[in-house]
Amino acid sequence: MANRASAWTKIDGGKSGNAVQHECIIVHDTSNTTHDLTPPFDWPMLGDITISVQPFAVSDTTATDTVTATTQDIDVDVVGSIEGGNDVTDWHIMKNFGSILTSSITIASGVYDMDAEGIMPKMCLSIGPDSGDTYTLRVVVTTHNMV
């Protein structure tokens, strides 16, 4: 099974103070020991963002993912590039959130401060494996500037 990430889905909200959320689903395969990249952000970076990560399931062996109680230690980076690319080595780490401990009943999150960390023409997230586990993650990026 290849690693894969869905396209970003824009979710206009009134749920979090009219903030706009962008959601992506990532499936990580046990055979891959490198980071997975989300698609590049397809919205303008005009301010800070909050990144939230929640595992759906530890195994992707069935058509329907089920929530499990397994804890994941996920490495999350905000990465940027002038030209982009499909390989992690094409991107520069702009902020490393370190290992974010998540479980099926919690959502781990962190804030990317654009003024402190900077901005690049192309940006995305790089998400690292938890000791080769197969897992499905829901990644949500909430903009602080309503775009």
Which amino acid, residue 4? R
Task: Read off the pTM.
Answer: 0.78
Residue 130, burial from CB neighbour count under 10 angstroms (0-12, 13-18, 19+): buried
First to last CA, the chain: 35
> Are 6 and 24 in contact, with CB atoms under 8 Å apart?
yes
C-alpha radius of gyration, the chain, whole number:
15
The candidate with the shortest Cα–Cα distance to 32, out of 139, 134, 137, 136, is 134
Residue 129 tokens read as 């494996």
CATH topology assigned to domain 4-143: Jelly Rolls (2.60.120)
Q: How many other C-beta atoms can be found within 10 angstroms of the C-beta atom of residue 83? A: 8
The residue extents of the domains of the chain are 4-143
Asked whether the beta carbons of 32 and 135 are under 8 A apart, the reply is no
pLDDT digits (tens), the chain, 147 positions? 345 788 888 876 555 555 688 999 888 766 666 788 889 998 888 889 999 887 765 444 444 444 444 555 678 889 999 988 877 788 999 998 877 665 555 567 889 999 999 999 999 998 876 555 667 788 889 888 764
In the three-class reduction of DSSP (H, G, I as helix; E, B as strand; rest coil), residue 42 is classed as coil
Alpha helices in the chain (DSSP H): 114-117
